[in-house]
Structure 1
Amino acid sequence: MSKRYYKLAMIGAVTALLASLFISLMLGSASIDTGQLWQVLVADSSAASLQHTIIWQIRMPRLLCAALVGAGLAMCGAILQNVSRNPLADPYLFGLMAGAGLGATLVSVVLPAGHISQALGAFVGALFAVLLVFAACSGKRWQKMETTLLAGVAVSFMLSAVSSFILYFAEPFAANRIMFWLMGSLSRNDWFSVWLLLPAVALVLVLALALRRQLDALLLGDDSARTLGVNTIAVRLILLLATALLTAVIVSQCGGIAFVGLMIPHVVRQLFGVTAVPLLLGSVLSGAIFLIWVDNLARTLLPQQEIPLGVITSLLGSVFFLMLMRSRGH
């Protein structure tokens, strides 16, 4: 893939992302045309108007959260797939979603409901799931990526069972709220969520780019990577912990949004390339664009109702992988 094509692809992705943000700010139950949007964006921030409130307090933080969540999940999926050389590796396979769901369930059922408390409970639950996975892979078993993935699946089923047991006896309203959140939603995100997600996504991106040569070496196999001076165990552990922590932050803010980390890296490899830098940057841009439009569908497809994001991403992801399997002749 030539450098000229790579530059054009990046320019096109950045342009598509900016256009998606601009168009999405006009979509919603309240009609805002291009002139009104432009006036709000360039006007004095102290100007008081209904359109100004809708754009800056409701739509803008939600769209930025959608972009950051999509970018973070796609980047984590790309990192894990390259590190493990497993095209099915996904950040949610480490039991993070189940752990976050258990933490949010306990907080909502036991403590008074609140945005920060539920997010904090989800984050602690996700970290608890990571600790269980590492405990299950004690000794040298954690060095094998396939063993870690299987442990994540087992932990996921166990924690999901505990959450279901608690929800079965919980008050119906609290149970319904948690179940909707577990399916993925950005409806409660605000500027606090943006400033929480932004540094987390940026730090993992910088870390992955700093280890770009090691990531490329791992694609050649462990033996070849070691001959190039790469400490394969240390690189895998650092990137695994980084992606787990980022996914825990994402889940704590928006619940479960599956298949983004599985699907987007496959598309990016075809459009941008397989080496670390184009893969990481392409995944960040493509993941952001993808989830922005998924969120647009979620809040505009049905009148006066919002569809959980996880429902849409799971549907699209399932169709995508059925097509992928068919194209590969499996």
Structure 2
Amino acid sequence: MEFAMRQCNPTLFLTALIPVAVISPLIAIALGTANISLVDVVGAIWRAVNSMIEPGPMATISDRIIVELRMPRVLMAMVCGAGLAVSGSVLQSVTRNPLADPYLFGISAGASLGAILALTGGISVLSLPVCAFLGSLIAVAVVMVMARDGQVETLVLSGVAISFLLSSMANLILYFGDPQATQMVLFWSLGSFSRATWGSLMLPAFTVIIATLIIYQFHRPLQALIAGDESAQTQGVSVLPLRLGMLLLTALMTSSLVATCGGIGFVGLMIPHVVRILTGSASASSLITTALLGAVLMVWVDLLARQILPSQELPVGVMTAMLGSVFFIGLLIKRRHRLRK
């Protein structure tokens, strides 16, 4: 669903996006129940960095609010947005399906099922990422077994089937589960960064950064794969190992994010579309652009979720679903308008 329009130079667009990716989190940190000036935000961050070199107490209450409460939340939003966007971009490349994202292949559903089992089963919170990853790994394994013929169509259909199956199992557990645990799972499943801490940030940040760097090293084989399996094989690409490896990497990223932030949809589906529409690029820089744009989008969505209602916070997953729906409805309307011409 890409359209003929004046596209930006990929390098210029990425260059313009970098300062936006720096300024956006500063604004998000500054705004909240108690607004703080950008000067104070930058000063608090500077003092926090210095205190890592020379440990000392926080200077003011606002410093503690910025460093201990708002920074982890905003950084978690950036990591989540970048990770989901990169995952969606990779899945769309390996399947040549513009509608592919972690939800389509059961990766998110498997991670959610594992996390729900951990939450309702009284398992330690520390085991939540492990259970989520195991759930997503099982989903990927089942999909790969069902699609062992290597056909993209079989892979997509298998992913859809497994996604619905795992989602129904998760809902069944919630239906028969303890009401208190169900309430906690419901809040978690809608997606939120409200419980982000420096400790909970470490695992998803490390996972997303390492996985993205690995994926970046394979950008040429991934570009070759977009042209088709046969074309990629003629260029020396081992299609099945590459496809399996990319699925495992996206499963690792998605599970770490789902375990920490809950279910947040449409980001992995929408951001790669936006990057292709704006730049029309399948170059190495497009992966960085996708990650940065996903991070920026999630920061602003989280800020809107915090600010749109007084004394109340909307789930981030609800906001991304609304935004994604409007985005794709807009694309469909534009496409219909062009076809009539």
Considering the TM-score relative to the shorter chain, is it more than 0.5?
yes
1:129 aligns with 2:139: yes
1:116 is aligned to: 126
Contact 2:110 2:136 in 1 (8 A): yes
| Superposed displacement of residue 12, structure 1 | 0.9
1:107 is aligned to: 118
Range moving further from structure 2, 77-86 or 42-51: 42-51
| Superposed displacement of residue 327, structure 1 | 2.0
Distance in 2, Cα, partners of 1:38 & 1:206: 28
| Superposed displacement of residue 198, structure 1 | 2.1
Alignment counterpart, residue 191 of structure 2, candidates 184, 187, 198: 184
1:86 aligns with 2:78: no
1:253 is aligned to: 260
- The residue matched to 2:30 in structure 1 has which SS? coil
| Superposed displacement of residue 268, structure 1 | 0.7
- The residue matched to 2:195 in structure 1 has which SS? coil
**In the alignment, residue 131 of structure 1 is paired with which amino acid?**
A
**1:245-284, aligned counterparts within 5 Å?**
245-284=252-291
Unmatched segments (≥5 aa) in structure 1: none
Distance in 1, Cα, partners of 2:294 & 2:75: 12
Identify if the C-alpha distance between structure 1 residues 110 and 18 changes in structure 2 by more than 3 Å, giving closer, same or farther: same
**Percent identity for Structure 1 against Structure 2:** 43
Identify if the C-alpha distance between structure 1 residues 227 and 117 changes in structure 2 by more than 3 Å, giving closer, same or farther: closer
1:9 aligns with 2:8: no
1:173 aligns with 2:180: yes
Q: Deviations over 1:261-300 (max 9, x none)?
A: 1100111112334223122011011000000101111122
| Superposed displacement of residue 165, structure 1 | 1.9
Alignment counterpart, residue 23 of structure 1, candidates 19, 23, 27: 27
Distance in 2, Cα, partners of 1:130 & 1:222: 20
Range moving further from structure 2, 4-13 or 197-206: 4-13
2:84 is aligned to: 73
**In the alignment, residue 45 of structure 2 is paired with which amino acid?**
L
**In the alignment, residue 224 of structure 2 is paired with which amino acid?**
A
| Superposed displacement of residue 19, structure 1 | 0.7
1:240 is aligned to: 247
Distance in 2, Cα, partners of 1:39 & 1:16: 19
1:217 aligns with 2:224: yes
- The residue matched to 2:312 in structure 1 has which SS? coil
Unmatched segments (≥5 aa) in structure 2: 1-7
Identify if the C-alpha distance between structure 1 residues 5 and 274 changes in structure 2 by more than 3 Å, giving closer, same or farther: closer
1:37 aligns with 2:67: no
- The residue matched to 2:117 in structure 1 has which SS? helix
Range moving further from structure 2, 103-112 or 204-213: 103-112
| Superposed displacement of residue 111, structure 1 | 1.0
1:302 is aligned to: 309
Identify if the C-alpha distance between structure 1 residues 39 and 211 changes in structure 2 by more than 3 Å, giving closer, same or farther: closer
Contact 2:140 2:247 in 1 (8 A): no
| Superposed displacement of residue 88, structure 1 | 0.4
Distance in 1, Cα, partners of 2:320 & 2:13: 24
Alignment counterpart, residue 70 of structure 2, candidates 59, 76, 92: 59
2:323 is aligned to: 316
- The residue matched to 1:328 in structure 2 has which SS? helix
Distance in 1, Cα, partners of 2:170 & 2:226: 38
- The residue matched to 2:9 in structure 1 has which SS? helix
Identify if the C-alpha distance between structure 1 residues 104 and 231 changes in structure 2 by more than 3 Å, giving closer, same or farther: closer
Identify if the C-alpha distance between structure 1 residues 61 and 232 changes in structure 2 by more than 3 Å, giving closer, same or farther: same
**In the alignment, residue 172 of structure 1 is paired with which amino acid?**
P
Distance in 2, Cα, partners of 1:52 & 1:75: 33
Contact 1:67 1:289 in 2 (8 A): yes
| Superposed displacement of residue 231, structure 1 | 1.9
1:292 is aligned to: 299
Q: Deviations over 1:182-216 (max 9, x none)?
A: 11111112112322122211222222221122122
Taking structure 1 as the reference length, what is the TM-score of the superposition?
0.91
Distance in 1, Cα, partners of 2:237 & 2:136: 30
2:108 is aligned to: 97
| Superposed displacement of residue 154, structure 1 | 1.5
Q: Deviations over 1:213-243 (max 9, x none)?
A: 2122122222222222222222212112211
- The residue matched to 1:66 in structure 2 has which SS? helix
| Superposed displacement of residue 31, structure 1 | 2.2
Range moving further from structure 2, 28-37 or 9-18: 28-37
Distance in 2, Cα, partners of 1:122 & 1:82: 24
